[in-house]
Structure 1
Amino acid sequence: MNSMHPALTLYSTWGCHLCDEAEQLLLQAGLAGRFKVTDIVDDEQAFARYRLMIPVLCRGDNELCWPFDADQLATWLKDVQ
């Protein structure tokens, strides 16, 4: 895998406090630099898929939908490695 591209994508949108919480969880889990935040408003396919579900963390076809906590995040990350 190319280390220049983050392996994880957090689908989010501006002004979403749940999305902000999810991003903080990722940072607290030590994932800074390992994920990118994609605003669904800028991605038509993501908007159609996730508009009622955000925040959603993805790696490939694997999705972790909100709500999730630090333990659920850690378990999911182990499962998708």
Structure 2
Amino acid sequence: MKVILYSGPHCGLCDQALDMLHSMQNIDIQIEKINIRDSVELYHLYGARIPVIKRNSDAAELGWPFSIEALQAFLS
């Protein structure tokens, strides 16, 4: 499964979300990490919401805060 992780520089919550993604068992995940500071549009969309995980398959989003269980359900 391909997902996008919208993040920002020096974002501890984003690091936590990335760690959670890497800890997923039995799910093949390809992660594209995008720094929202590289785009004015993305900064306006996600600046107050990061980290946000977006599925490429249907564009569904999971925004912080989320639990490991919520992430598991989102990726299933």
TM-score tier, shorter chain, comes to 0.7 to 0.9
1:34 alignment counterpart: 30
Identity of aligned residues (%): 32
1:32-52 Cα distance to aligned partner (Å, 9 max, x none)? 761111000012221110000
Greater RCO (CA < 8 Å, at least 6 residues apart): 2
How many equivalent pairs are there?
A: 73
Measure how far apart 1:7 and its partner are.
1.5
From 49, 53, 56, the equivalent of 1:53 is 49
Pairs within 5 Å for 1:1-81: 7-30=2-25, 34-60=30-56, 61-78=59-76
1:43-65 Cα distance to aligned partner (Å, 9 max, x none)? 22211100000000001421000
Hey, what's the Cα distance between the residues in 2 that align with 1:28 and 1:10? 15
Taking structure 2 as the reference length, the TM-score comes to 0.84
- Structure 2: which 5+ residue stretches go unaligned? none
Taking structure 1 as the reference length, the TM-score comes to 0.80
Which letter does structure 1 place at the counterpart of 2:24? A
Hey, what's the Cα distance between the residues in 2 that align with 1:22 and 1:43? 21
| RMSD of aligned alpha carbons | 1.8
Large movers: runs of 4+ above 2 Å: 30-33
Which letter does structure 2 place at the counterpart of 1:50? Y
